[in-house]
Copies of this chain bind each other. A is one copy, B any other.
């Protein structure tokens, strides 16, 4: 059969930066310390296409994904990003006409959480990995990797808390008593989704569980599936004792990274995005920032 993809294209001077498959859903079995977990991942993989070629051989992408990912049922991989890196590198082997490849994996990850050990259950988080491979002139392939995660937690607004106190002190004069100065005051609180991604220099590595801990540590409070009557109040009180704007979530998360990830090099890229699904509005509030660990360390010095 004639290989239609290998024909010259009609417009023969236009290269394309990306051709691939997307929304390929796969179960990826990952070996975590002490347990195996199955991530349900949506993969997007692509390579570039030179101007001399009509089409990319996309069946190779599907084959490669099946080889790498399906096989993890027998032999789990170390992590989502190690799977993405392998796929990115191998894409350039199987598409010899390509000079760069991109692999994105986004998966659901269940990890145990509980306000006490007795209340522990599996809760859902999201993981992200990106890998880009480049073939140099001499044929060597270099791969860069990013790894990230998203956690749902809670934010309580510091501004409405302060204005509510002002209004309440007029109605309840006793509230101004010094002994009630630190009494948590009503405000709006809501679901907050925060994601943190690291663009890793070669050799650097990071655990997704640590990423999730960093995120949850920067929200007003983590949230939990199982909360008995008294526990609910504890979460509420924690959140109201740590009221945060979306701006605070991003800054507190960024500021926590040097101590949480002391071994990551200065060149590590850092991307944070947070979204609060405001309880007092029908729309969401968001903040984002991209920087490097080096810049954060300098700012904190």
Using a CB–CB cutoff of 8 Å, the interface residues on chain A facing chain B are 1-5, 9-11, 13-27, 35, 37-38, 40, 44, 46, 49, 51, 54-56, 58-59, 62-63, 65-66, 69-70, 73, 108, 110, 120-124, 152, 154, 157-160, 162-164, 166-168, 172-175, 177, 179-180, 183-191, 221, 223-230, 232-237, 239-240, 245-248, 250-252, 254-255, 275, 277-290, 296, 299-300
Contact = CB atoms under 8 A, between A and B. Distances in A.
Contact of A163 (B1, B123, B225): B1
Given A21-B286, A248-B10, A281 B223 contact: yes
B190 A252 contact: no
Contact of A247 (B19, B159, B167, B221): B19
Given A1-B166, A227-B280, A279-B279, A14 B299 contact: yes
Contact of A2 (B27, B51, B162, B248): B162
A15 to B, nearest CB: 8
B13 A300 contact: yes
A282 B152 contact: yes
A108 B19 contact: no
Contact of A159 (B4, B154, B251, B277): B4
**Main secondary structure on chain A at its contact with chain B?**
mixed
B185 A11 contact: no
B190 A279 contact: yes
Contact of A277 (B184, B191, B299): B191
B282 A223 contact: yes
A177 B174 contact: yes
A190 to B, nearest CB: 5
B284 A22 contact: yes
Contact of A162 (B1, B19, B180): B1
A182 to B, nearest CB: 8
A164 B232 CA distance: 8
Contact of A223 (B230, B234, B280): B280
Given A17-B289, A160-B233, A172-B183, A26 B122 contact: yes
Given A14-B296, A23-B284, A27-B110, 18 more contacts: A1-B230, A11-B300, A14-B299, A16-B251, A19-B287, A22-B275, A22-B286, A44-B286, A59-B226, A59-B228, A63-B226, A66-B121, A66-B226, A124-B282, A154-B279, A163-B230, A174-B180, A223-B281
